[in-house]
Amino acid sequence: MKNIVLLSLIYLTISCKPSYNLAALKESGCGDYRFGMIECKRLLKDEDKALLEKKGLLIQDHLFDQVYQGIWYKNWDKINLKATPIRKLKQYQISEKLSEGIQLALLKDDTRTCNLLIQVITPLDQSFLTQYGKILNHKDLLYRVETQYKNIEPIVQHPCIKHVSVLKLQDFPDKKD
């Protein structure tokens, strides 16, 4: 009888372990994840990346040397990094999601029109972006939106937003090849 109870406990422990499928991340789950810079102790191999992904950390881009960019589940804040190939996790702040050193405090009342190139972690419900402006086009995880400068801050605060760039306004349509 003790063996059956022991086996049941082992089975429950294994089956209750969280599974992270970061490739299937949906917009509603973005709040449970952090996006930022991942500093490693060494260059990561494909096997390392696969193991980290199973544990809830997805390497998305190699920036330089042992520095990567990616997303991780919020429980990584409590994990002892000494037992992993990760040296440091640095979540990007809102101001770091903006390119060109844009200062949000200066734009909060600016009603001038601008074009934004928005890179996201996972596809967004387009109604989120249309409440702030007009979606000019989108492909994969990139959206081009015409909006006002004052709308940049609420857009950048969305947890699925990875990066925002301000583009020059074009008075002529894109050329088709």
d(CA 154, CA 111): 14
Strand order through the sheet with 133-139: 133-139, 142-148, 113-120, 161-167
pLDDT, mean over the chain:
82
For 89, list phi and psi in degrees, rounded to 5.
Answer: -115, 125
Indicate if the pLDDT at residue 69 is higher than 80.
yes
Indicate if the pLDDT at residue 4 is higher than 80.
no
Could you give the domains of the chain?
20-92 (3.30.70), 97-167 (3.30.70)
* CB count in 10 Å sphere of residue 86: 21
Query: Per-residue pLDDT tens for 109-147?
Result: 888 999 999 999 888 888 999 999 999 999 988 999 999
Alpha carbon of residue 156 to chain centroid: 11
90: which strand partners? 37
Query: Per-residue pLDDT tens for 151-176?
Result: 999 999 998 899 999 887 766 566 66
Average pLDDT rounded to a whole number, residues 37-57: 93
Helices (H), ranges, the chain: 2-15, 46-54, 104-107, 126-130, 152-156
pLDDT of residue 107: 80
pLDDT of residue 11: 42
The 3-state DSSP class for residue 116 equals strand
Average pLDDT rounded to a whole number, residues 14-35: 65
Which bin fits 140, alpha (ψ -120 to 50), beta or left (φ > 0)? left
d(CA 22, CA 122): 10
d(CA 120, CA 155): 11
